[in-house]
Amino acid sequence: MRAAIRSGKRASLSLFHSGTRFPREFYGDRRGGDDGSSSDSFGTSDLRGDHKSTLIGPTPKDVEEDEERGDLSDDDFVPRWKRAEETRSKADQVFEVLLQEGPGFSARSELEKMHLQISADLVREVLFRILKFIDASNKPRCAKLGLKFFMWAGDQKDYKHTSNAYNLTLKIFAKCDEIKAMWRLLDEMTQSGLPTTALTFNILISTCAEAGMARKLVERFMKSKTFNYRPFKHSFNAILHSLITVDQYRLIEWVYQKMLVDGHSPDILTYNVLMCAKYRLGKLDQFHRLLDEMSKNGFAPDLHTYNILLHVLGKGDKPLAALKLLNYMNDANCTPSVLHFTTLIDGLSRAGNLDACQFFFDEMLKRGCEPDVVCYTVMISGYVVAGELEKAQTMFDEMTNRGQLPNVFTYNSMIRGLCLAGKYDKACCMLKEVENKGCTPTSSVYRAVIAKLRSAGKDSEADEIITRMEERGFHPQLASRFRAYRRC
């Protein structure tokens, strides 16, 4: 298996830095091989979710939870669990009333009859239920319900909306593609004197980036005097962190220049974001210069920096340099975690070096690092893409035997592999198993299974899957297209 380590592209071993500078041998030569590709995402974003946030610092969810804790009030006489239970029960009642809104029924009037004591907790719970209720078929309705409840709650005595209530309503509008409503609510939020937060910006940028309004939003927040950018060092870091999650790499470069002009100096988070952006833009020379500059300015690599470097080495098929980096991390008292091994394995898998993937998987176990469901899924996906279904099945079985429960992405990979191998009955059984567990496979998996079944002449099996999709509400637009296609 050691041959797998030697088989990758060799990194340059000639350049070292003195003192505390970071050895260049661990991130390869300046040419970068395939590293400059911009067609791929860092690490395992398609498997874990918002993986780029994990690379560079606190996630939007961390910020949201921090804000929610700030909204909670202490009560010396009512146990916290009981108060939360009562709030959830009232929120369920309010949500049921809102769902009845329509001709001949006024939800506002019905809510007034309930004589509720409005609190930040109750408002948050109701808005959260509306947010979770949104799907492709009810976006306009949910946007209206969210706005009506928000306005009604804001009119109630002894209650005033918090930043968290505004952020949740912004999330509803974002999910419903109501961009104009988002901007109006943002104006109202600032006019009411409430601070906009890092989460506010993150919600807005996710939608505005798709609409081509990212720069306008960034300029507004840079000029804002009420931008509460906690837990970040300054507003520029909060903005940079959000921009990396929506792939706004060129805008990151522009914001960084504005940051320097404004007199702010970069910290380790800033450097991590910038290195991500430079790598994705294929600017490898600038990537290396940033790493040099970071060391000269006295910043040691943190866990996120190492994660970025491991991805670069994995994607560039440099397993020997990656092994040296992992050993260097141990020497620097920065023990590699399952995230670091997963990032490296994912990069090597995308580079097609599955032998190296298996080596580092075994190395991880040898070092006492337990693989999680994401790591197993990366290994399984790599084998499926390479057409090695037996190895994928072995890894799947090992995963379940070690007590790791497959997630929807694990099943997606296995179902695809079974279809590619022509094992349609097993694919259908596994698809049904996933559905019965309450998971929703991705639309691409349904498309693949149904297309393979039809090409194999198994129309009845394909129709059965479409019927289940319709009955359970899975990807309704896709199911209707399948039905229309079948009628043709």
**Does residue 269 lie in a domain region?**
no
Single pTM value for the model: 0.76
In this predicted structure, the answer to whether residue 165 has a pLDDT above a threshold of 90 is: yes
How many domains does the chain contain in total? 2
Between CA 488 and CA 474 the distance in angstroms is 22
Q: What is the DSSP string of 205-247?
A: HHHHTTTT-HHHHHHHHHH-SSEE-TTSSSHHHHHHHHHHHTT
In this predicted structure, the answer to whether residue 184 has a pLDDT above a threshold of 90 is: yes
Last residue of a domain, one of 369, 385, 415: 369
Q: What is the DSSP string of 237-278?
A: HHHHHHHHHTT-HHHHHHHHHHHHHTTPPP-HHHHHHHHHHH
Last residue of a domain, one of 194, 213, 228: 194
Between CA 474 and CA 465 the distance in angstroms is 10
Structural domain span for residue 6:
1-32+303-369
Q: pLDDT tens digits, residue range 254-288?
A: 999 999 999 999 999 999 999 999 999 999 999 99
Asked whether the beta carbons of 259 and 223 are under 8 A apart, the reply is: no
Q: How many angstroms separate the Cα of 113 from the Cα of each of 97, 101, 116, 121, 122?
A: 11, 15, 8, 20, 17
Residue 228 pairs in a beta bridge with 197
Between CA 116 and CA 95 the distance in angstroms is 13
Q: How does residue 72 score in pLDDT terms, banded at 50, 70 and 90?
A: very low
Q: What distance lies between CA 75 and its chain's CA centroid?
A: 35
Lowest average pLDDT, out of 174-183, 227-236, 314-323, 326-335, goes to 227-236
Q: What is the CA radius of gyration of the chain?
A: 25
Q: Which two tokens stand for residue 322?
A: 């990656």
**Count of C-beta atoms within a 10 Å radius of residue 73:** 8
Residue entry with tokens 């509803």: 172
Is there a single domain that holds both residue 77 and residue 190?
A: yes
**DSSP H or E run through 53:** helix 51-56
Is there a single domain that holds both residue 96 and residue 158?
A: yes
Last residue of a domain, one of 324, 341, 369: 369
Between CA 186 and CA 207 the distance in angstroms is 13
